[in-house]
């Protein structure tokens, strides 16, 4: 069977020379940068030094001042070295900060060389273990030549994204979400579909798992680079121990407590209940859901103000944690949600999906999108006011932080 012809890589040319576009990922976001390449006779040369050694004589290498390649060729021609010359020095022990190194490599990776007058070069100080950034070309040359600084390679994370999605999906427990991700990463647009699932739909735990997976792979690459440079790092801790999941439940419960205390003082508020994942032991609730029963003639402006305050406090906890304040009337009929905007009137926002915007100020009646089950309205899992009624086994933190404070 005849071998397939290797497809030529497509390259571009500008005033600085030849380049190809390189796609890479930083913290789950796709970026693009120019990667400078060497082109000879229309072919991209992956290793220019190896090509010169194979095709250029010493005279030509001398003309282009590549004396290092001449010396390398002489060493190769001399044959195997003695054990005395090949003996490896003991590794250099160095106290390092993994966060500082990660930050330095992130910065180098985000700088587009096509838009910078000077190359972005940082060094590792081999005496202090600190990262040093050169201020100008003169300082760069000085750090290169003093022997106590090691340049941080700009391409350390190159190719790290390839195979990452498959490896991540294989690391997940066997559940429907894993099957959904396995299907999403097949074919064109795989990473976009992958991000839609991981960073959307309230999959906060999955998002943190993916971010740690990326961090671990990058740290493995850093450790491998240090090993190649004969450096034995002392991190002061286990850099491969996954961090504990963020515990934001206490902050969310305190925000709900403040909302209940404010809202119960409004004449016309008849009942307040807690719904959703915060009533369960879920480690990272995706949002806060509150049900408020209001009289038919109650103006909603004060309740809307307290709702916005609750939303602000939940958003401060991170991960896009939001708030929904659902409304029902004394007859148990679902009315809609509280409008989250400070100004609520018809025609202000084209994106408003309320069916009757402005008919009752601050009532967001998007019934075509969200509806509550009448049974959930009649018997919510946890009623907080005017009486505390628990219909499920509530977590200890809800009992201690919320229920006990309202008794």
Looking at the structure, tell me whether residues 219 and 352 fall in a common domain: no
Looking at the structure, tell me whether residues 324 and 344 fall in a common domain: yes
What pLDDT score does 4 carry? 45
Of the three residues 210, 244, 278, the one that is the final residue of a domain is: 244
Asked if residue 164 is part of any domain, the answer here is yes
Looking at the structure, tell me whether residues 299 and 207 fall in a common domain: no
Of the three residues 244, 265, 295, the one that is the final residue of a domain is: 244
Cβ 161 vs Cβ 24: under 8 Å? yes
Looking at the structure, tell me whether residues 239 and 267 fall in a common domain: no
- Rounded to an integer, the average pLDDT of 246-272 is 94
Looking at the structure, tell me whether residues 219 and 325 fall in a common domain: no
What pLDDT score does 137 carry? 74
pLDDT score of 358 more than 90: no
Asked if residue 48 is part of any domain, the answer here is no
Asked if residue 219 is part of any domain, the answer here is yes
Looking at the structure, tell me whether residues 154 and 178 fall in a common domain: yes
Tens of pLDDT along 52-111? Answer: 788 888 777 777 777 777 777 777 776 555 444 445 678 899 999 999 999 988 888 776
Q: Point out the least confidently predicted range of 72-86, 286-300, 363-377, 387-401.
A: 72-86
Element (H, E) at 250: helix 249-263
Residue 257, classed as helix, strand or coil, is helix
Helix axes 301-315, 249-263, angle to 10 degrees: 170
pLDDT score of 183 more than 60: yes
Cβ 48 vs Cβ 64: under 8 Å? no
Neighbour tally for 14: CB within 10 Å: 9
The residue with greater pLDDT, 107 or 265, is 265
Q: Where are the alpha helices (DSSP H) in 264-384?
A: 301-315, 374-378
The residue with greater pLDDT, 359 or 34, is 359
- Pairing mode, if any, of strands 131-133 and 122-125? antiparallel
Cβ 392 vs Cβ 332: under 8 Å? no
What pLDDT score does 83 carry? 46
Looking at the structure, tell me whether residues 166 and 256 fall in a common domain: no
Looking at the structure, tell me whether residues 270 and 238 fall in a common domain: no
Give me the domain span that covers residue 296: 249-406
Residue with tokens 């600190």: 130
Of the three residues 244, 264, 294, the one that is the final residue of a domain is: 244
Q: What's the total number of domains in the chain?
A: 2
Looking at the structure, tell me whether residues 274 and 291 fall in a common domain: yes
Q: What percent of the chain has pLDDT over 90?
A: 41
Tokens linked to 353: 């999906």
pTM over 0.85: no
- Rounded to an integer, the average pLDDT of 163-190 is 85
């Amino acid at each position: 069977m005849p071998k397939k012809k290797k497809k030529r890589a497509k390259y571009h040319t500008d005033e600085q020379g030849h380049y190809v576009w390189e796609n890479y990922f930083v913290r789950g976001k796709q970026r693009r940068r120019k990667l400078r390449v060497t082109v000879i006779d229309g072919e991209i040369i992956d290793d220019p030094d190896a090509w010169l050694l194979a095709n250029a004589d010493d005279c030509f290498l001398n003309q282009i001042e590549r004396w290092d390649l001449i010396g390398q060729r002489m060493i190769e021609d001399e044959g195997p070295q003695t054990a005395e010359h090949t003996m490896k020095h003991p590794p250099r022990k160095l106290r390092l900060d993994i966060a500082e190194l990660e930050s330095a490599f992130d910065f180098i990776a985000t700088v587009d060389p096509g838009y910078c007058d000077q190359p972005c070069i940082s060094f590792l100080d081999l005496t202090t273990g600190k990262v040093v950034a050169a201020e100008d070309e003169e300082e760069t040359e000085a750090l290169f030549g003093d022997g106590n600084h090691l340049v941080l390679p700009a391409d350390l994370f190159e190719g790290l994204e390839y195979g990452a999605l498959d490896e991540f999906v294989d690391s997940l427990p066997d559940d429907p979400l894993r099957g959904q991700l396995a299907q999403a990463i097949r074919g064109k647009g795989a990473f976009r579909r992958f991000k839609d699932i991981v960073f959307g739909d309230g999959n906060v735990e999955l998002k943190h798992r993916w971010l740690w997976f990326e961090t671990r792979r990058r740290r493995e690459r850093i450790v491998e680079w240090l090993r190649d440079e004969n450096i034995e790092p002392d991190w002061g801790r286990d850099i491969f121990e996954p961090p504990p999941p963020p515990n934001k439940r206490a902050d969310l419960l305190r925000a709900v407590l403040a909302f209940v205390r404010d809202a119960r003082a409004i004449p016309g508020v008849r009942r307040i209940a807690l719904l959703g994942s915060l009533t369960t032991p879920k480690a990272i609730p995706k949002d806060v859901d509150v049900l408020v029963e209001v009289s038919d003639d109650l103006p909603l402006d004060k309740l809307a103000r307290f709702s916005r305050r609750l939303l602000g406090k939940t958003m401060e906890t991170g991960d896009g944690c939001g708030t929904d304040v659902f409304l029902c009337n004394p007859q148990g009929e679902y009315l809609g949600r509280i409008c989250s905007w400070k100004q609520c009137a018809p025609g202000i926002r084209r994106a408003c999906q309320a069916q009757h915007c402005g008919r009752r100020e601050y009532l967001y009646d998007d019934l075509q999108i969200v509806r509550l089950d009448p049974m959930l309205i009649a018997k919510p899992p946890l009623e907080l006011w005017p009486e505390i009624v628990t219909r499920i086994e509530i977590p200890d933190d809800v009992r201690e932080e919320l229920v006990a404070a309202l008794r």
